[in-house]
Amino acid sequence: MDAMLFDVQCIQVWGIHLVVPILLVICIQLLWHHYNLRLADPANKLPLPPGSFGLPLVGESFSFILKANFIRMKRLTLGTVYKTHLLGRPTIRVSGPDNIRKVLMNEHKLVTSHWPKAVQNLLGDGALSMMTSGTSHKNRRRLITKAFTHDALEVYTEDIIAVIREEIYKWCQDKTVKAYPSCHHLTFRLAAEILVGFRFCKEKNDELDFHFHRFVNSFFTLPINLPGFNYRKGVESRNKIHELLDSNIKDRWETDAYSVNTLQVLLDAMKDSGEELDVLGVKEAVVELMFAGYDTVGSALCSVILKLGQNPHVLEKIRDELFVHGILEPSEDVTFAMVGKLPYLNNTVKEVLRTCAPAGGGYRKVLETFELEGYQVPKDWTVIFSIRDTHEHSDTFNKDLTFEPDRWINIEDKSVAHEFIPFGSGPRTCIGRFYAQLVMKLLIIELCRSTEFTLLDKDPVIKILPVFQPKGGLPMEIKKRTVIYQNNNFNAKI
């Protein structure tokens, strides 16, 4: 009898130990949900969109970062407008051309640029994308645009081709390479040498390359500056990058040598206006531009190799086009003007960007509450506009992600202005979009002219953060092309 009584008492004690924590968790979860609901605009009678705020404090951040299909499943179950809580912020995620148009075409009215705290801290106030003032952003953007004009791209073309050829030669020497890191090494060189005009020794260049890779990989993390966390590694690498750039910027400030690149444009503008050298501001602006010309462009170049490797008929049609225009042989010069006369090549690049958009979306902060699809988007919340979701569910493209450049023959860019948005849209459209497309085209031309390559994994698993990338790095076998090419069956109307 005593034993039975003891057992009952033990069960009661253990029951209390189990129930109390469960009740506490339930209460915390309810309070978290209630707290976020209070952030809605009480003056607006519309409901919040469907969705979940996730776990207390962290929201749905871990699912967003770790689950490859998280965004897609949310879109399929909740629609084109839904609420969540990501990277420390209550967030509305939107997709679809009408919603995208309303968000992006109302920059500085309904929304302004706003990135996760980690990105803000790492890039700094001198970065163009961090500027929330419409006037400051417009003036800086107009200034930097000088480095991406038609004339500037024409100047860059020869140097871009030279760097691409050097890197492809190394790939062929190695015989087997991983396309993803190799493409990023290529775009790092292009960003550092051509966009910014830096010339480092190999040791310094490799050091900067390493820190840039670690810096970029720390962007979409919780801003916890403690040992072992990716954010801490990002801060350390940012500081090292700034240190490496410091003397180079000061040297360039003290010389009057003319060159066409973003760093020179910024320095010349400061001199013309009588300003003192703002070393930190210039470093932050330069690092942002190198990041933009490095990570997303590197992803796009890797996607070029992925799609051409999966679709050899496309690669052959590009060779046909190059043959007809007299530039298939590696010894034949390619100019900026020639690149603009290759419609099938242009359509191939657009199809790569449509099916494998490097960036998944962009961030904005809501300046005043507005409506989307009958729901309120509250003031001070974050809005994420989804690029890949919008591409994937476009009616114009029949919700079809099959890779087929010919689909673009009868599609005008203006008709899909907010269904095809790899570079965003509106006042903050990516300033380097024409540069990125030029690099993609020149890589395709040199791959077609100079190499034969085979993917060793033709259907890789894709990661989407921080950018579109194949797991495993997309290994490929590559060798120098020796075929003498002839084709009289090319349809010049393509």
- How far is Cα 447 from Cα 305, in angstroms, rounded to an integer? 9
Nearest to 197 by CA among 249, 148, 244, 158: 249
Nearest to 157 by CA among 455, 439, 468: 439
Nearest to 440 by CA among 372, 316, 363, 345: 345
Beta bridge partner(s), residue 477? 176, 454
Measure CA 338 to chain center: 28
Q: What are phi and psi of 417, to 5 degrees?
A: -55, -35
> 51: left (phi > 0), else alpha (psi -120 to 50), else beta?
left
Nearest to 151 by CA among 19, 265, 318, 66: 265
DSSP string, 391-410: HHT-TTTTT-----GGGGTT
Asked if residue 286 lies in contact with residue 196, where contact means CB atoms within 8 angstroms, the answer is yes
DSSP assigned state of 490: -
Beta bridge partner(s), residue 111? 107, 366
Q: Check the annotation: does 27 bind a ligand.
A: no
Residue found by looking up tokens 């569910």 in the block: 393
| Six-digit token string for 67 | 């689950």
- How far is Cα 219 from Cα 119, in angstroms, rounded to an integer? 5
Measure CA 19 to chain center: 46
| Six-digit token string for 95 | 């997709």
Helix (H, G, I), strand (E, B) or coil at 45: coil
Beta bridge partner(s), residue 91? 84, 382
| Six-digit token string for 40 | 């809605």
Measure CA 453 to chain center: 26
Beta bridge partner(s), residue 94? 81, 385
Mark 204-241 as b/e (b = at least 16 C-beta within 10 Å): ebeebbebbbbbbbbbbbbbeeeeeebbbbbbebbebb
Which distant-in-sequence residues (6+ apart) come within 8 Å of 118 by Cβ? 87, 218, 219, 220, 221, 222, 223, 231, 234
- How far is Cα 459 from Cα 55, in angstroms, rounded to an integer? 34
Residues in binding site for heme: 430
Residues in binding site: 430
